[in-house]
Chains A and B, each alone.
Chain A
């Protein structure tokens, strides 16, 4: 009846790789951030798939808790990342990461 665990893992791996490609190939800082968010999502799919298929039978909840922590960290990351991007845009009028090669504003 159920969907096999490996299907979830394959989809999550595909999502991770697409996100990785996005993070590596975009010039725009916001685009890179979006790639990173995709990668975090794929990790969460994995965590919940492992929870459903392995942990439920054992009665533990580590996967769900881990997923919640990951979502929290992703929220913090997005907030700080976008603040940095907006600040950089304000000072240098660009969000192209290749122009941000000085360690000062």
Chain B
């Protein structure tokens, strides 16, 4: 066990405890805060993977935008947060079973496979390369543009749906 493995275990614990809080906590506002904890942990994992840009984007978009939107939506519909509110449906046992079985299968497979990993240092200009790749004609410019169109459509759609008549 070395330092980065120790850090990994710590961060994974943060991520998984946060995730467990999200699905188990009865108070939805607290659940959303656990979601943010989990997002921050994931961002830490990205730093451990030496993807600093993605880590920051994760903080900026997930914590700064998505999580805050969720908290906001919870505040708007706050009358529903009464303690009597049942937040688990009838199929939760089945859901739990599916999740556990899926995890068992996935873990079994993941440990069986011999991944073709190769050690290499991340290049100094990884971020610049990423920027180039996103706009280079023969690389990822099409998905990039489609994503921007999707964002635009989603934005306009969200405004139209949520606007009061």
Contacts and interface: CB of A to CB of B under 8 A. Distances in A.
A contacts B directly in the complex (CB < 8 Å)?
Answer: yes
Interface in A38-92: 38, 41, 44-45, 48-49, 51-54, 56-59, 61, 64-65, 67-69, 71-80, 82-87, 89-90
Interface residues of B, number: 90
A102 interface: no
Nearest to B114: A6
Residues of B contacting A: mostly: helix
A64 B122 CA distance: 12
Given A64-B54, A82-B70, 18 more contacts: A8-B49, A14-B16, A18-B23, A26-B87, A28-B80, A31-B87, A52-B51, A56-B121, A57-B120, A61-B126, A69-B144, A71-B57, A78-B66, A80-B161, A83-B157, A83-B159, A86-B73, A86-B76
Interface of A: 1-11, 13-22, 24-28, 30-31, 33-35, 37-38, 41, 44-45, 48-49, 51-54, 56-59, 61, 64-65, 67-69, 71-80, 82-87, 89-90, 94-98
